[in-house]
Amino acid sequence: MQAPSHPRPALRAGLIGFGVVGSGTHGVLAANRQTIRARAGCAIDLTMVATRTASRAQAATDAGIEVMRCPMELARHPELDVVIEAMGGTTDARDCVMEAIAHGKHVVTANKALLATHGEEIFAAATARGVTVGFEAAVAVSIPIVKALREGLVANEIEWIAGIVNGTSNYVLTQMGAGGSSYADALAEAQALGYAEADPLLDVGGGDAAHKLALLAAIAFGGPPRLDAVHVEGIRSLQAADFLHAARLGYAVKLLAVARRSEGQVQLRVHPALLPRNSLLARVDGRMNGIMVKGDAAGVTMYYGAGAGSRETASAVVADLVDLARALRGGGRMCVPPLGFHDDNFAPPPMRALADVRMRNYLRFTLQRADAGPRVFEVLQRHGVLADKGTLSHDSLVMLTNAVAESQMLAALRDLEGVEGVRATPARLRVEELE
Q: Interface residues for its own copies in 307-326 (CB under 8 A)?
A: 309, 311-312, 314-319, 322-323, 326
Minimum Å gap between C-beta 254 and its own copies is 14
- Please give the backbone phi and psi of residue 431, each rounded to the nearest 5 degrees, phi first: -110, 125
CB 274 within 8 A of CB 244: no
CB 129 within 8 A of CB 123: no
Q: How far apart are CA 13 and CA 21, in angstroms?
A: 14
Q: Considering Cα of 21, then 110, then 117, then 197, what sign does the dihedral take?
A: negative
DSSP notation for 10-38: EEEEEEE--SHHHHHHHHHHHHTHHHHHH
Minimum Å gap between C-beta 420 and its own copies is 47
Binding mask 248-277 for its own copies (x = CB under 8 A): ------------------------------
Using the rule CB under 8 A, which residue among 67, 298, 353, 410 binds its own copies?
298
Q: Which residue's CB is nearer to its own copies, number 333 or number 394?
A: 333
Interface with its own copies includes 28 (CB under 8 A)? yes
The partner residues of 414 in beta bridges, in order of sequence, read none
CB 380 within 8 A of CB 374: no
Residues in binding contact with its own copies, number by CB under 8 A: 74
**Window 143-172: residues binding its own copies (CB under 8 A):** 143-144, 147-148, 151-157
The partner residues of 299 in beta bridges, in order of sequence, read 295
Interface with its own copies includes 117 (CB under 8 A)? no
Interface with its own copies includes 41 (CB under 8 A)? yes
**Window 64-103: residues binding its own copies (CB under 8 A):** none
CB 240 within 8 A of CB 182: yes
Q: Which residue's CB is nearer to its own copies, number 288 or number 380?
A: 288
**Window 361-420: residues binding its own copies (CB under 8 A):** none
Using the rule CB under 8 A, which residue among 19, 276, 340, 421 binds its own copies?
340
Interface with its own copies includes 19 (CB under 8 A)? no
CB 226 within 8 A of CB 218: yes
Q: Which residue's CB is nearer to its own copies, number 32 or number 182?
A: 32
Span interacting with its own copies, options 78-86, 91-99, 142-150, 166-174, rule CB under 8 A: 142-150
Reported residue count of the chain is 435
Q: Which residue's CB is nearer to its own copies, number 136 or number 203?
A: 136
Minimum Å gap between C-beta 307 and its own copies is 11
Q: Which residue's CB is nearer to its own copies, number 220 or number 416?
A: 220
Rg (CA), the chain: 24
Q: How far apart are CA 381 and CA 220, in angstroms?
A: 37
Span interacting with its own copies, options 12-20, 25-33, 54-62, 425-433, rule CB under 8 A: 25-33
Instruction: Convert 370-380 to b/e letters by CB count within 10 Å (16 or more is b).
Output: eebbebbbebb
3-state secondary structure of 175: helix
The partner residues of 240 in beta bridges, in order of sequence, read none
Minimum Å gap between C-beta 271 and its own copies is 24
> Which residues are the active-site residues?
212
Interface with its own copies includes 142 (CB under 8 A)? yes
Q: Which residue's CB is nearer to its own copies, number 187 or number 325?
A: 325
- Please give the backbone phi and psi of residue 372, each rounded to the nearest 5 degrees, phi first: -75, -30
